[in-house]
Structure 1
Amino acid sequence: MRYDLVIFDNDGVLVDSEPISNRLLAAYLTELGHPTSYEDSLRDYMGSAMHRIHDLIQERTGQKLPDDFDDVFHARVFAAFERELEPVAGAAGVVEKLAADGVPYCVASSGSHERIRVGHRKTGLDRWFDDGRIFSSRDVGRGKPAPDLFLYAAERMGVTPERCVVVEDSPLGVQAAVAARMDVYGFTAMTPAGRLAGATQLFRDLGELADLLV
C-alpha cells in the first residue's frame, strides 16, 4: 500500500445518497421560490456543506433562506434515507479489505455527524466506522473546496498530507484534496470525468479501488 491513510468522502462514495438529497434539495429550494432543477442541484451543490447553499442563494438573489432551512431539509432527507438509502455498490467490500489489510481509513464529509451516522446505520456501514473515523465539515467551520476538513482528518489520524489519498466524487471535493496536497481518486459513477479535473486518477467501479490503491 503506497498510502498511510485512505480518506473517503461519504455521500455518493460510500452511501448512494446524492440522488436522494439533491432531489429533495431542488424541490425544497423551488418550494421557497428559488426554482432549482435536480440537474442544477447536482451542478451547484453536490459535495458542498450547508453554508454554501445559504451563501449561493443569498449571493444570487439577495435573499436569505429561512432560519429553519437546515432542520427542515435534514428531516426530509433522514426520512427519505430510512425509506430508500442503499450503500454504493462495492463500498462494504473495499472498506472490509482495507480493515483486513490493516490500512488506516476514515470518512471526511460535508454532511453533519448525524447525517453520516444515519446513513451508515441504514446501510450497515456503521460496523466499519466508529467515532474516531468520522469527520464532518462542522468540525472545522469551512467546508470543501477549502482543504480544512481533509487536513483536520489527517491530523487527527496522525498522518501527514502527502501520505494520504482521498476518494471523492464531487468537483468541490477534488479541489479540496488538491488544496490539501493529497492525492485524490475521482469516482465517476455519477460525475462526468471532465468535472473531476485535477484528480490523480479516475475510476468508475468502487470494486476496483482496493487494487488501484496498491
Structure 2
Amino acid sequence: MRAARGVIFDCDGTLVDSEPLSALVFAEALVAEGLSITPEAALAAFRGRRFALCVQMAEQMLGRALPADFEPVLRERTAQAFRERLQVIEGAATLLEGLHLPFCVASNAPRAKTELSLTLTGLRHHFGERIFSAYDVGSWKPDPGLFLHAAGAMGLDPADCLVVEDSEAGVMAGVAAGMRVVAVLPEGRPDWLPAGVPALDGLAAVRAHL
C-alpha cells in the first residue's frame, strides 16, 4: 500500500460532531414549514450533501418553495446550536497533534461555518490557512474538484493523499479524485460504502492507514 504524503479531512461528522445538531435544526425548521420529518430522517437524507441540494429535496417533499430567508435563518439557528452544544469527535485532537505530514480540511460547508466549528472545538489552530470550502472552489462533493484543489494547494499528487470522511458524498468524491479513502463510521459498515474503502470505528484507527 502506497504511504500517504498528506491527509485531507472532512469536517462535519469527521472532526466535529455537528451532523446530528444540523439535522435537528433543519428538521425543526422544516416541521415549522409544515413538513413531517424527524431529525433522524433529516440526517439520513441530507448528510454530507450540498446545502442547495438539501433545500431542493426538502421543497420536493413539501411540494412548494421554502421562504426566501430560509437559508440565512437556518444558518444562524445552526450556528447558535453549535455555540451551545457542539462537541469534538473523540480522538480528533490527538490525531491532529500527532500528524507529521501535511494535512488540511476540505468541506462542503461555507468557510465561516467550518471556521466556527473548528474554533468551538479547539481544533482551529491545527489548520492555519489549510481550510478549503466548496463555496470558494465552486465544486461540491461528490464531485472530486474540492479534494483535487486541496491536494494541489498542498503540492501533492492525488494518489499521495488519504481522505478521511464520514459521508457517502465525501467518500465518492475521494474515490473519484483517485485518492485513498477511509470512512470513520462507528455505527458500522453501510451498504453504500465501496468495497475498497475501509470502515473505521473511530479516528484513532486512521493512523494504521497512513
**TM-score normalised by structure 2 residue count:** 0.92
For these two proteins, the number of residue pairs brought into alignment is 209
Structure 2 runs not aligned, ≥5 long:
none
Cα distance in structure 2, aligned partners of 1:151 and 1:29: 34
Of residues 12-21 and 155-164 in structure 1, the stretch that sits farther from structure 2 once superposed is 155-164
Cα distance in structure 2, aligned partners of 1:144 and 1:74: 20
User: Are residues 1:160 and 2:172 paired?
Assistant: no
1 or 2, which has the higher helix percentage? 1
- Structure 2 counterpart of 1:127, from 111, 125, 128: 125
The 3-state SS of whatever aligns with 1:186 is strand
Of residues 119-128 and 24-33 in structure 1, the stretch that sits farther from structure 2 once superposed is 24-33
List per-residue Cα deviations over 1:87-143 (Å, max 9, x = no partner). Answer: 100000111111xx2x0000011111111111111111011011x210111012231
Partner of 1:49: 50
The 3-state SS of whatever aligns with 1:76 is helix
Cα distance in structure 2, aligned partners of 1:161 and 1:113: 22
User: Letter of the aligned partner of 1:156 in structure 2?
Assistant: A
Once the two structures are TM-superposed, the CA of residue 64 in structure 1 deviates from its matched residue by 2.5
Instruction: Identify if the C-alpha distance between structure 1 residues 170 and 191 changes in structure 2 by more than 3 Å, giving closer, same or farther.
Output: farther
Partner of 2:108: 110
Partner of 1:139: 136
Q: What value does the CA root-mean-square deviation take over the aligned residues?
A: 1.8
User: Letter of the aligned partner of 2:25 in structure 1?
Assistant: L
Once the two structures are TM-superposed, the CA of residue 4 in structure 1 deviates from its matched residue by 1.5
User: Are residues 1:23 and 2:24 paired?
Assistant: yes
The 3-state SS of whatever aligns with 1:135 is strand
User: Letter of the aligned partner of 2:33 in structure 1?
Assistant: L
Partner of 2:74: 73
List per-residue Cα deviations over 1:36-94 (Å, max 9, x = no partner). Answer: 22222122110112111123234455532222222111111111111111110000011
What percentage of residue pairs aligned between the two structures are identical? 37
User: Are residues 1:183 and 2:180 paired?
Assistant: yes
Partner of 2:209: 213
